[in-house]
Every structure is written in C-alpha cells, then in structure tokens.
A and B are shown apart, each in its own frame.
Chain A
Amino acid sequence: MNEPNEPTLLRARGLTKRYGTQTVVSELDLDCDAGRVLGLLGPNGAGKTTTLRMLYGFARPDAGSVEVLGQDFQQHRKELKRYLGVCTQDDTLDYDFSVRQNLRVYANYFRPAVPDVRGRVNELLETFGLGEYADASPRALSGGYVRRLLIARSIVHRPGLLFLDEPTTGLDPAARVEVWELVASLRAAGMGIILTTHYMDEAERLSDSLLVLQRGKAVARGQTSDVLGTLLGEHVLVMAESESQDIEAHLRTLGRRPSHVLGEMRLPLRAAQLAALSAAFPERRLTVRPPNLDDLFLALAEEGAEEGAEKSPEARMDGGP
C-alpha cells in the first residue's frame, strides 16, 4: 500500500463509456497503488478492455474522471502518459524491426528521453530472456516470447503504472507461468499494474485485488475471498447430474438454477442456504467445496446469457433455497 502522503497511482471515478445508445461501462470507480496488481475480471463484453482503454487514454470517457499521481489525466495527458506503460491484447510489434530495434524505436516515443537507451534495452533483453533473439525478427519468436517482448517494450521507458490487457491469452501453460513470473517481478519492483484476464487462476495468483465487471458495471471488488463471498457464498454444492434431479426440482421451486459442467451440477451457497438445503434433504449426503473464480465466471456468464433477466447477480445469489 501507499504511504499516507503518497498519492494513489491511479484513481478513476464515475467512468462511463457509451457507444451509440449502448452503455458499455457505467459509473465505474477504481484505484491502483504502487506495488499492487488490480485484476479486472469478467466475461466477454463485460467492459474490461474498454475500461482499460479509458484509463490509458485510448478512449475518452463520456463521463467520470481519471487521475494519475493525483493529477487530472486529461489536463496533464502529455506528461502523465510518460508515466504509463501499455501492453495491448493485440500483437502490435513492429515486424519491420528486429527484437532489439523494437525496444529502441519504442523508447523514442517518450520525452523526457529514456536515459541510456542502449543500456536499458540490453537490460530488458537480459531480464526478459530475449538476448538470444536480439537481432532476429520478432517473426522468429514463439507466442510466449512475443508476449515477453510486448511487455518488455511497454516498460522500456520505466513507467510507474503498467496496463496489461489479457497478457497470457493464447499462450501455452509454460509460457503463461513465465509471464506470471515477469508480472510478479514488476510488482515486486514497485510498479502498479492493472490487468484484464479471462483466466481465473491467473486473476487469483497475480491480483492483490479484483474488480469484477458484468455488463459494464462493477458487481464486486476486493480480495479474491471477499469477492467470492460477496457474489457466491462460502460453499459450492457439487453433485453428479444423474443424482441431482430431486434437488434440482426443489431448487427450481425456489428460483435457483444451478450450473452444469461436464455432467456435474454446481450451485454456490451461503452457510444458511446450505443448512436449509441439508434440512430439506436429510437423507442425502451433500458434497461441498470452497468456491473459486471459475464458479464466479460461470455464474456471471450465465447471468449475462439470460436475456431480460431482471435480477442482478447479487440479488439472484441472495435468493436462497
């Protein structure tokens, strides 16, 4: 956390973005401090990338404000962008240049100029394990190394705040772990990081705090356990579909619809709800486990798919058996 006299790296209040008549991000508040990772989580179309684009200045909010280091981002845009690093989801490497030149040319887009560019580039090549490919075209790199280069390029000017938009999408498990380690090392070096991700394990492992978006709105925020507790409850009932018909019928009368994954019924429950269900089926042995972000994601995705649903996820979760 920041010292009391140290301003929050980034503070956004009331961020709203509309495209035509559709509101894709609505009155969003968020903060990011030095040495902390804020994970933006949510299903497709939740507004994660739009939020990120507003935060780093790629899209102008229709309402709300963004402050970086306590200064209004729009008013001091030129100076404050020097402080930001951006690694977009798309591969935006310059394939006309070698790996080394990608870093060197990118450094030229910042003022005050990056001191000792040559030394900084060599340092990044070594830190990110790219030295072997320094003079090769990025076309020679695997997906994992391309992502390494994109992240290295986004911090060539030593930013204090880094935006990572789905940094491991499309990578194999080994490459994902390597990127996680890089992100962890940047956080340890004191950099504030805001990342979006689809991967639950990634969000859990990397983020100090989570902001869960659903249809452009924040539906939960805080540490992983708090977020899960807020949205899902303390337990997830797990049962084979073949054995769950009677319980599902009972749940339907209460307005609850469990998720189904590979022949398995799953239902998040609060302690009181679990006790009520257990009392309703005293002869049945109920298996529960702690909730994880997969459960949350499924719940949110299901909520998003229900057209015309009137209840919010919180309201639906709170319905109780």
Chain B
Amino acid sequence: MNDLLSAFDWRSFAVVRRNALVYLRNWRTAFIPPAMEPVIFFLAFGFGLAGYVESIAYQGQTIDYAAYIAPGLVAYTAFGTAYYEALYSAYVRMFYQKTWDGILATQVELQHLVWGEILWAACRGFMNATIVCLVLAGFSLAGLVELHLSMLPLLPFVGAFAGTAFAAFGLIFTAIVPGIDHMNYPVFLIGIPLGLLSNTYFPVASDHAVLQLLIELNPVYQLSESCRALLLGASPAPLLKLAAVTLLYLLIFTTLAIRLCRKRILG
C-alpha cells in the first residue's frame, strides 16, 4: 500500500520535475515531431481513407469516418505516448544514462522513481493529446468534421488518467528486457495490437462472449470509447468502465513494475 501511496509523495514529483526540465530543454525535438504524427494520421485516414469509406455504422447510427476516427486518434495518442515513453525513454534513463542510479543515491526511493516515470509519461500523453485536440478543433470549426467541441477539453485529462496505467504496463517491460533491442516485443507484439484492436481506426466487436470480454478488457478500447462518447455525444457509460479498468490495471501494473524494477536495480 505504501508503494501505491508514493504517487502523492514530493519525491515522485521531484522525478517528474526532472523529466519536465529535460523536456523543456529539448522541446523542439521532443514535442513537435511526436505530436505531428497523429495529425498526419488524421489527415491520411480522416480525409484520405475517408474518400473510400465515407461513413461507418456506430451504435446504430451512421457517422462520417472522419468523425469516427477523430476520438480514436486522441485515444491512440494518449496510449502510445505514455506507453512508449515508459518503454524507451525510461529504459534509456535507467540503463544507458544511469539517471536512476544517481537519483536513488538521494532521498528518492525506487517506488517514487517508478511513480515519477508513470506520472511523467501520463503528462506526455496529456500534451500530445492536447495537440491532437487543438487540430481537431480547427478542423471542426472549419466544418470538415462534426464533433461536440464543448467536451474536447476533457479528452487530454481522460487520456492522461488512462495513460498512467499504460505507463505502468510499459515499465514492467522496461524492468525485464535484457536490452533495448528486446523492446520490439512489447512494441510490435503488444503495443500495436492493443492500439489497433481497440475501436481506434475501425470498429472491433465479436459475437463470441469471451472474445468480446477480452476486447472490453483492453484499456485502449475503453479509452477510445470514452473519447468517442464525449466527442460524439453518445452514452457516457464507457467512462465508468474506463475508470474501473484503469484503476484495476494501475494497481496491478504499478505493484508489479515497482517489484520488478526493485529487483533489477537494487538486486
């Protein structure tokens, strides 16, 4: 329990502050290219592919494909940013830069370090999701896509909340992979399938109860559905499911990540 309460300790925030300071020093390379990726994807899918798939059935309604993938892109951005930050960036800080070793020689303990990385990854997800939301707002105001703009400011917060669980999940792999090349496993075999089979770019559903349960247990799916509910004015029920799965996964993954990181770093 103490490990979980460490999320609110000043030492966790000291780690976030350190990462934020580095980010501000390198913001041109750290912020603009990654934030542009979902924008390019939205242009490619929302306007390119939408030329062939004009509309799509969603919850008994027919909506524009651009309107369908807009919330999915926000969800995918929040997921991908937090997950990959916890995988690659945290690994570089831990293994190559030995930043963690330096920090652990202070009053900061390992659980604060892990929480600091989780919270920072969620902040990165928030920032990139904000950029996507601003672009969506521009397209919406230009009449190119129909969205409930009043709910748009909520999306980065929802994404950051879910991002904590994605980051904790990523840190589990950071703690166990032997080398950075092995990150290909959590990236290609886990991250990409999770991101695609989640109602982001296309609807995923199954008549089989077990398969449908697995789909609904995918937190990216719940995040995508929550963003869609907010932006398209649908039922807010997915938000409750998102809160439940996020808290459940955060509890499990963070406990595991702290334990595995402790084993790797402290022996």
Residues of A within 8 A of B (CB): 19, 56, 58-60, 77-78, 81-82, 86-88, 90-97, 101, 105-106, 108-111, 153-154
Tell me the count of chain B residues lying within 8 A, CB to CB, of chain A. Answer: 23
Interface pair B105/A88, CB less than 8 Å apart: yes
Ordered nearest first, which 6 A-B pairs have the shortest CB separation? A92-B102, A109-B106, A86-B105, A96-B22, A81-B107, A92-B98
Cβ distance B108 to chain A, nearest Cβ, rounded Å = 5
Could you say which residues of chain B place their CB within 8 Å of the CB of A82? Answer: 107
Q: How far is the CA of A60 from the CA of B25 in the complex (A)?
A: 36
Could you say which residues of chain A place their CB within 8 Å of the CB of B22? Answer: 94, 96-97
Interface pair A58/B266, CB less than 8 Å apart: yes
Cβ distance B129 to chain A, nearest Cβ, rounded Å = 24
Interface pair B14/A92, CB less than 8 Å apart: no
Q: How far is the CA of A19 from the CA of B98 in the complex (A)?
A: 23
Could you say which residues of chain A place their CB within 8 Å of the CB of B106? Answer: 81, 86, 106, 109-110
Nearest residue (CB) in A for B112 is: A109
Judge if B193 is at the interface, Cβ distance under 8 Å.
no
Q: How far is the CA of A110 from the CA of B109 in the complex (A)?
A: 12
Interface pair B107/A90, CB less than 8 Å apart: no
Q: How far is the CA of A92 from the CA of B98 in the complex (A)?
A: 5
Could you say which residues of chain B place their CB within 8 Å of the CB of A92? Answer: 98-99, 101-102, 105
Cβ distance B131 to chain A, nearest Cβ, rounded Å = 23
A sample of 27 inter-chain contacts (CB < 8 A) reads A19-B267, A56-B105, A58-B105, A58-B266, A59-B266, A60-B266, A78-B107, A81-B106, A86-B105, A87-B105, A88-B101, A91-B98, A92-B102, A93-B102, A94-B97, A96-B26, A96-B97, A96-B99, A97-B25, A105-B18, A109-B14, A109-B103, A109-B107, A109-B108, A110-B107, A111-B10, A153-B102
Could you say which residues of chain B place their CB within 8 Å of the CB of A78? Answer: 107
Interface pair A154/B98, CB less than 8 Å apart: no
Q: How far is the CA of A194 from the CA of B97 in the complex (A)?
A: 26
Cβ distance A78 to chain B, nearest Cβ, rounded Å = 6
